[in-house]
Amino acid sequence: MELVRGDVIFEEGAAADTLYVVEQGRIAISNKSFDGRESMVALMEEGDLFGEMALFDGLGRSAEARALEASQVLAMPFEPLLALWNAQPNLLWKVVGLLTRRLRAMDSALADAFFLDVTARTAKHLLEIAGDRDEFEIPITQEELAGLVGASRERVNKSISSFVRLEWLEQNDGVYRIKNRKELEIRAM
Quote the number of domains for the chain: 2
The whole-number pLDDT of residue 169 equals: 93
- What is the rounded average pLDDT of the residues 61-83? 93
Same domain, 64 and 105: yes
Check residue 155 and give left, alpha or beta (phi > 0: left; psi -120 to 50: alpha).
alpha
Separation between Cα atoms, residue 171 and residue 142, nearest integer Å: 13
Q: What is the pLDDT of residues 81-124, one digit of tens each?
A: 889 888 998 888 888 888 888 888 888 878 887 888 999 999 99
Domain encompassing residue 12: 2-114
Select from 64, 65, 73 the least CA-distant residue to 25: 73
Does 38 have pLDDT greater than 80? no
Separation between Cα atoms, residue 111 and residue 150, nearest integer Å: 12
Does 10 have pLDDT greater than 90? yes
Same domain, 72 and 142: no
Strand, helix or coil for residue 71 = strand
The torsion angle over the Cα atoms of residues 74, 93, 103 and 63, rounded to 10 degrees, is 30
Same domain, 94 and 127: no
The CA-CA-CA angle for residues 15, 19, 24, to 5°, reads: 125
Does 140 have pLDDT greater than 80? no
Q: Domain holding 29: CATH number?
A: 2.60.120.10
- What is the rounded average pLDDT of the residues 128-135? 87
Whether 22 and 71 have beta carbons less than 8 Å apart is answered as yes
178: pLDDT confidence band, cut at 50, 70 and 90?
very high
User: What's this model's pTM, rounded to 2 decimal places?
Assistant: 0.73
Phi first, then psi, for residue 145 (nearest 5°) are: -60, -40
Same domain, 133 and 102: no
Same domain, 77 and 123: no
Averaged pLDDT of the chain = 89
Which of 80, 114, 148 is the last residue in one of the domains? 114
